[in-house]
Amino acid sequence: QGKTNGEDTLAADNKLSKLKTDCRKIMKSNTENSAEGKIHQVRGKIKETIGKIFDNQELEIKGKVENAKGKIQEKIGEIGKDR
C-alpha cells in the first residue's frame, strides 16, 4: 500500500527535524567552541607537564596535541564572535 500525502509529509518533516538536530550537534555555538577550546588547552598543559615530570614522551606529546587542538577550537569560536 502506498502512503498518503499526509504520511509522506510527516515522514519528510521527521527526517528534516532529525537533520536539524544532527547539525546542531555538529555545529557548536561560538561560546561553546571558545569554552571547550580553553578546557582542552588546560587539559593538554596538564598532560604535557605530567609527561615531562615522569619522563613520559607519549603523554607529553598527547598534551601538546590536545593543547594545539584547543587553541584552534578557541580561535574558531573567536572568529565566529567577530561576525
Torsions phi, psi for 64 (to 5 deg): -65, -40
Q: CA 44, CA 14: separation in Å to the nearest integer?
A: 40
pLDDT tens, residue by residue, 31-83 = 888 999 999 999 999 999 999 999 999 999 999 999 999 999 999 888 877 66
Q: What is the pTM of this model?
A: 0.66
Burial class (CB in 10 A: 0-12, 13-18, 19+), 36: middle
pLDDT tens, residue by residue, 1-39 = 555 667 778 888 888 887 777 666 556 788 888 999 999
Q: Dihedral of CA 48/49/50/54: which sign?
A: positive
The contacts of residue 69 (CB under 8 Å, 6+ apart) are 40, 44
Q: CA 49, CA 56: separation in Å to the nearest integer?
A: 10
